[in-house]
Chain A
Amino acid sequence: MASTAELEKIVTQVRRDIVRQVHAVNSGHPGGSLGCVEYFVSLYFEIMKHNSAKFSMDGINEDLFFLSNGHISPVFYSVLAHSGYFPVKELSTFRKLNTRLQGHPTTHEHLPGVRIASGSLGQGMSVAIGAALAKKLNKDNSIVYTLHGDGELQEGQIWEAAMYASGKKVDNLICTVDMNGQQIDGSTDQVLPMGSLRAKFEAFGWDVLDLEKGNDIASVVATIKKAKEHTGKGKPVMILMKTEMGNGVDFMMGSHKWHGVAPNDEQLAQALNQNAETLGDY
């Protein structure tokens, strides 16, 4: 078990990786990525049983993770690299021609750690349900995790999947929604108010947990551990995780404007100043 301090060190380095990746190609999605760093670090360095040294697509007897909101690829890639799925220096190829680190995650270039393409929103929960059903057929009691954006819940397929998961008792599944309240055109309330997501998922038959401090690593670890205790009880588990978009970089925090915009040189320097190098830059 890693200490909170050790996990926080990783968090800081991942933040640096995110802004550096996006800055280098002047494209990508830093805001949502920064908001989910603690979640990814908790999952890959504390919670999941997974084999990064020897990646297998089938992941038999491993916990699996599916990123449904694929645009936050910078955080996914950084955490996969630091977990040992591929060399950290490969982060320098993000979004460049011939890279395995495509703008949105994909299996097409065989990047270890990625099991499905995502980017077109709303598809990851269905895929995760399929993987969870395969685990049940294989008598594999590992857990399948997904992450979704809150804006992504506006896609209809999510609700097809939500209905299925509870109706068919897919209870080896822990989904998390990143409730940063922002999407491209503004706040989720401005774009399409979604009301109470807790009420919605409960009405759909899910076991719902709130994570008020999605950017506090100890809270994230504790809540996912609690969610694990809720698996195997006939219901899929949902974590509603409140985060701050752009967390850890003050000028990016709390605004939808940094959804898909890269920092300039000066802004990069400022962001890096706020997050000291801990594990070594790529």
Chain B
Amino acid sequence: MDFLNALVALSNFVLVPGIAYGSQLALGALGVTLIYGILRFSNFAHGDTMAFGAMVAVLVTWWMQGIGIGLGPLPTALLALPFAILGCMALLLVTDRLVYRFYREQKAKPVILVIVSMGVMFIMNGLVRFIIGPDDQRFSDGERFIISARDFKEMTGLDEGLTIKTTQGITVIVAVIAVALLFWFLNKTRTGKSMRAYSDNEDLALLSGINPERVVMYTWLIVAALATTAGVLYGLDKSFKPFVYFQLLLPIFASAIVGGLGSPLGAIAGGFIIAFSEVTITYAWKKVLEYIGAEPSGLVQLLSTDYKFAVSFVILLIVLLFRPTGLFRGKSV
């Protein structure tokens, strides 16, 4: 019984939140890894792209709530998601047209594009705060829990409760669908293959009649969809605050690099590795340990949650030191 209680407590505080957070990071890291592989630079504006997409979703959700459109038990934000993706696509295409295309025409080196993306980051950051303000915004509605702690206790008779929030369930389902779609697109469709070809060898892609501008456009469109989805899911799960998305950049980059930059599979694995490391290291293990018979004197919390970003940073450093290509042999050396 105690063992079961330990397992439930572990699921409640580590596994479930870890899986949800990992899915969000994986979606974010997929966007980063796609841009790195195809456009050949690390996009520092990715966090703020997520913020912009999520912001559009928040605004559309409020509007829908205002005129009484809803999804019943599901959050209205799911209905707003397609509009948010369209908004984010428009932003990225305009940015590409105004900024990145110029540097492509100059055949600028990737490192220059990295710095350019930092400039774009500041602009997007300002844009989002200008439109919606720097404060916390709540936009989730509908049923809050799939299983609440009390229901779980009544059902099982255990002392420990397991809570699964609706947003966590949705996060995992949406992430699985998005990833499946992405892999199908990259491996099975003509356009997806042309994107991989362009990533592999730009010159030869040109010789094969693949239009580079077309490839770049599709990349931005896909990245917009991924970033917005990740942003909205994160916002639903926690809350929407522009600055938090900027901070998310670190765990997202850590995920992409740990998995191996340029490898979509690696980005997903990296997302979960970072998420679980963060959650397990900042979790107070006292309760779980007590159930399995140990009598710890303290909380057995390795790091305060305030320092959670330190975890991604340390993992990032370790990976760069000992296995710079990442777990899935990405392209960085």
The answer to whether A and B interact is no
Name A's B-contacting residues (CB within 8 A): none
Name B's A-contacting residues (CB within 8 A): none
